[in-house]
Structure 1
């Protein structure tokens, strides 16, 4: 495997987040294959329960799936939070493109220092002062913002938690304002369902991310295809 980065052609339009706790006890790799075959452009390995070794193995499985599909130069593979896992995977020759971190995770400055200029680094946008943050944040070290949630979600209950511990969901109107305000791409998730995709695509954000809508579906491939086709149809319409 190579370690060529996808930073230069990063595409967050169809973004899938997955870990072993999200699949109804099914293997992760076949679901990733379904998503990659459906045309998704970004895969994030995320688990709060898996060990470092388990995360490295999941990353390897995902990289193998992407490689076998012939999409190693098109699909960006990231790991959530775990800089140690990313560094270990890279050292083992696994094609891993970067990391996604939250506000309370390892600082992006440290991630960039260890991973280098070619790595993709995504950052969960701050919740309680989101608009000011996106307008004023130093984005020189990051490649995209993750924003949300659109709805409250059990899969990621901490998504969008404000200073008072309550979840702050985002309206389509707010997301349209965010898209205009941000100087870097924005991907939105948090309870996103198929019915949300047309309006979400119209806001001007650069992509959607999903977890359970695909990973817990009876037919992950079918759900993945429905979501990405709805995005393409409506995002293209907006751009015309």
Structure 2
């Protein structure tokens, strides 16, 4: 079955070699998946295409060794060329995540096919209007943020005036209400944010440094996953 039909973005790790404090990317991915993370995105602005393909291969192997290839989606940020080259080499990569200024969603969909995952980050200042008007038939989820300013992506939330605009939980709840597709929220998210974030109705959270930069990535990942499960289940009961 296509992972697109079974996509789980509840616990979503974005990771590249610049985020790990010198530790192997694949080790942190292993810790996160063992802890219950459901989606992995390879993202790097410093790695070459070949390095990104190798990181994708290592991530796919880790996920396969844990028996999670049918449950944990593996995506690459921005680089449709890397996804296509990885697939040509037999690497199981499930799709791509793009921004509004990256390769258009319809082009990604054309090249990757209907079984692939395509996620989109809309620009912060346009997000609500975009969600109201966008054709989402080719998109699987929206990435929304930041909740806090974050050094791992300093331009995240950059508004037209050059200032960072963070998202309140009230705004996130409104975006979730308006969106026809699932919404995953990140940007400096920490365990303390999870209770409020879960109440917005978002489909999940994404993190970089909260896991990749943690002293104990596995423990940090477990705390995030457990908090999300606890507060989403509590919300369903109420």
TM range (shorter): over 0.9
Aligned to 1:147: 144
Aligned to 2:94: 97
- How far apart, CA to CA, are the structure 1 residues paired with 2:177 and 2:219? 32
- How far apart, CA to CA, are the structure 2 residues paired with 1:199 and 1:234? 9
Aligned to 1:54: 51
Alpha-carbon distance, 1:30 to partner: 0.4
For residues 47-79 of structure 1, give each alpha carbon's deviation from its aligned partner in whole angstroms, at most 9, with x where no partner exists.
000000000000000000000000110000000
Aligned to 2:218: 221
Conservation of the 8 A alpha-carbon contact between 1:43 and 1:77:
yes
Match of 2:193 among 183, 193, 196: 196
* Runs of 4+ off more than 2 Å: none
- How far apart, CA to CA, are the structure 1 residues paired with 2:207 and 2:60? 19
For residues 68-94 of structure 1, give each alpha carbon's deviation from its aligned partner in whole angstroms, at most 9, with x where no partner exists.
000110000000000000000111110
Aligned to 1:45: 42
TM-score normalized with structure 2 length: 0.98
What are the residue-to-residue correspondences of 1:1-240 with 2, within 5 Å?
5-240=2-237
Aligned residues: 237
Conservation of the 8 A alpha-carbon contact between 1:5 and 1:120:
no
Q: Which runs of 5+ in 1 are unaligned?
A: none
- How far apart, CA to CA, are the structure 1 residues paired with 2:124 and 2:45? 21
For residues 16-38 of structure 1, give each alpha carbon's deviation from its aligned partner in whole angstroms, at most 9, with x where no partner exists.
00000000111110000000101
Alpha-carbon distance, 1:125 to partner: 2.1
Conservation of the 8 A alpha-carbon contact between 1:13 and 1:207:
yes
**Which deviates further from its counterpart, 16-25 or 157-166?**
157-166
**Which deviates further from its counterpart, 122-131 or 133-142?**
122-131
TM-score normalized with structure 1 length: 0.97
Q: Which runs of 5+ in 2 are unaligned?
A: none
Name the SS for the 2:5 alignment partner: helix
- How far apart, CA to CA, are the structure 2 residues paired with 1:71 and 1:16? 15
